């Protein structure tokens, strides 16, 4: 028997990526667009857990919140947990400008999924290492996907199909971990 769980986000791309993985462990998602209260912290896990608790208190039913960030080595981990804001303000071109003339383009994406339910909060993490491309490539995905090349590939996330991206991605890894953890939990 499958589990239907709410996901608090207005980002349909995020929902599609998570659904593609979670459906394999009989979890379906119901997107709910409630105001997401996001604390300011460098710790993605803290941000996701707090947002999930707030969403659970508003909905009074199990709910997932996913938060992700791009951490660039040469920029001391910037933009990190502030990736969404940085994307909205300076975008891909702003990040590329910050990296002009920089040889060390190592970076990683990290995702934290927090599930709040009547007995508490479960959080899982996924991380993928890679590098920042010198220019945007591809038309798929969203956010910084056109400039992130995961280790083991020559293509950016934006050049991959949804299924291929999920096989590499931070969000796909976190979703697979959630599937593993949630098997033994009664979430009501």
Helices (H), the chain: 12-22, 44-59, 83-89, 91-98, 162-168, 170-182
CA angle 157–130–72, rounded 5-degree value: 105
Half-sphere exposure of 142 (CA within 13 A, CB side): 13
Residues known to be catalytic: 67
Q: Any idea which residue has 């002009």 for tokens?
A: 100
């Amino acid at each position: 028997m499958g589990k239907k769980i709410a996901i608090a986000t207005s980002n349909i791309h995020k929902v599609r990526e998570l659904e593609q993985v979670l459906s394999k462990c009989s979890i379906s998602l119901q997107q709910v667009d409630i105001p997401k209260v996001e604390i300011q912290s460098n710790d993605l896990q803290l941000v996701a857990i707090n947002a999930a608790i707030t969403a659970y208190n508003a909905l009074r039913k199990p709910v997932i919140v996913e938060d992700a960030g791009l951490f660039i080595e040469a920029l001391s981990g910037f933009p990190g947990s502030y990736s969404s804001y940085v994307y909205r303000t300076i975008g891909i071109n702003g990040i590329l400008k910050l990296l002009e003339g920089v040889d060390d383009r190592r970076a990683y994406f990290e995702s934290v999924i927090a599930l709040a339910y009547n007995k508490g909060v479960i959080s899982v993490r996924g991380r993928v290492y890679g590098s920042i491309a010198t220019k945007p490539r591809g038309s798929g995905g969203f956010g910084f996907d056109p400039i992130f090349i995961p280790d083991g590939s020559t293509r950016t996330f934006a050049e991959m199909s949804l299924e291929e991206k999920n096989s590499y991605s931070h969000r796909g890894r976190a979703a697979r971990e959630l599937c593993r953890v949630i098997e033994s939990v009664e979430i009501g």
